[in-house]
Amino acid sequence: MVKDTQVNHDICVSCGCCVKVCPKDAITIEKGVHAVIDDEMCIRCGICAAECPAAIIDAERFNPKSKIRFEHWYDYLWLFTIVYFCLGFFNIIFAWLGLICFITPLLFALIKGNKSFCNKYCDRGQFLDLLGKKLHLSRKRNPPKWLCSKAFRYGFLIFFFAMFFVMLWNTYLVFNGKTLTQAVTLLWAFNVPWNWAYHGNVISPWISQFAFGFYSVMLTSTYWGLLNGSIQASFMVCLLPNGNHDPINLQSERY
């Protein structure tokens, strides 16, 4: 394999956007940390450079002339995002299904030592790609450098997990007798009434509280992805915060 040197590894978070769209499977995630292009397999179509949310692949080396794209069964996992939010809208208990999206990427990173989940199976990444690329709802502007900096990305990740632990704390309080809050918190600040999705006391209140909280996390992160994707690349959600926790684990294993 002749490895490419046209990828800025200092910014790359191995989100897998380039891997998903490469028609020749010429891109791999080296040791789960950085994207690497095989020059012998690359046909210089430039699709990867166009799709990179951080614009870190040198587009000048490509000669766009091929739009080959082979579809697989996992290309339709974006449907899970739509089904998930629809189910949670009518019955909040279905919000627990979001744990699949939360835990699976970590398991892939810890067990397989790579980001194959993000590279192929991420439902929200596909959903945002559908809106931004295929429906042309994204301006596809390059993000500012500070938005892709490690300081900002990891700072945002810490803040995101802090809000997640606040959600767990509220669940613990309800478990110990606090009144259930039948609302969804959008952008960590705005409580939106969601009482129609709660269907009585058949299930323990703390289970419902966790569902409200987790649905809030999923809805907020998706809204963040939609907001950034409409202005910049559709896969910006892969950078903030979703694409940052796995590289930390993988880099620690590598070094």
Using alpha carbons, select from 135, 108, 125 the residue that is nearest to residue 240. 125
Q: Which residue range forms the structural domain that includes residue 26?
A: 17-61
pLDDT tens digit string along 131-178? 887 787 877 777 777 777 778 878 888 888 888 899 999 999 999 999
Write down the pLDDT at residue 44: 76
Whether 162 and 52 map to the same domain: the answer is no
Radius of gyration, alpha carbons of the chain: 19
Residue 236: what pLDDT?
63
Distance (Å, whole) CA 8 – CA 119 = 18
Residues paired with residue 192 on neighbouring β-strands, in sequence order: 184
Give the per-residue SS3 of the chain.
CCECCCECCCCCCCCCHHHHHCCCCCEEEECCCEEEEECCCCCCCCHHHHHCCCCCECHHHCCCCCCCCCCCHHHHCHHHHHHHHHHHHHCHHHHHHHHHHHHHHHHHHHHHCCCHHHHHHCHHHHHHHHHHHHCCCCCCCCCCHHHHCHHHHHHHHHHHHHHHHHHHHHHHHHHCCCCCCCEEEECCCEEEECHHHCCCCCCCHHHHHHHHHHHHHHHHHHHHHHHHHHHCCCCHHHCCCCCCHHHHHHHHHHC
| Same domain membership, residue 234 and residue 122 | yes
35, two tokens? 């994207």
Pair 118, 102: CB distance under 8 Å: no
Please tell me whether residues 27 and 93 are part of one structural domain.
Answer: no
What is the CATH classification number for the domain harbouring 21?
3.30.70
List, for the chain, all residue ranges whose pLDDT scores fall below the cut of 70. 1-6, 31-33, 59-71, 114, 201, 232-255
Residues 148, 95 share a domain: yes
What is the reported pLDDT for 251?
A: 47
CA angle 5, 139, 246 (to 5 degrees): 50
Same domain, 33 and 94: no
Query: Are both 29 and 92 inside the same structural domain?
Result: no
| 86 & 198 share domain | yes
| Residue 1 in domain | no
Query: Do 51 and 110 reside in the same domain of the chain?
Result: no
The answer to whether position 3 is within a domain reads no
Of how many residues is the chain composed?
A: 255
Give CA–CA dist 112/243, Å, rounded.
16
And the tokens for 193?
């009434």
pLDDT in tens, 141-150: 777 777 777 7
Is the same domain home to 87 and 212?
Answer: yes
Q: Is residue 6 situated within a structural domain? A: no
Domain count for the chain = 2
Q: What is the pLDDT of residue 247?
A: 47
Q: 21 and 115: one domain?
A: no
- Do 105 and 201 lie in one domain? The reply is yes
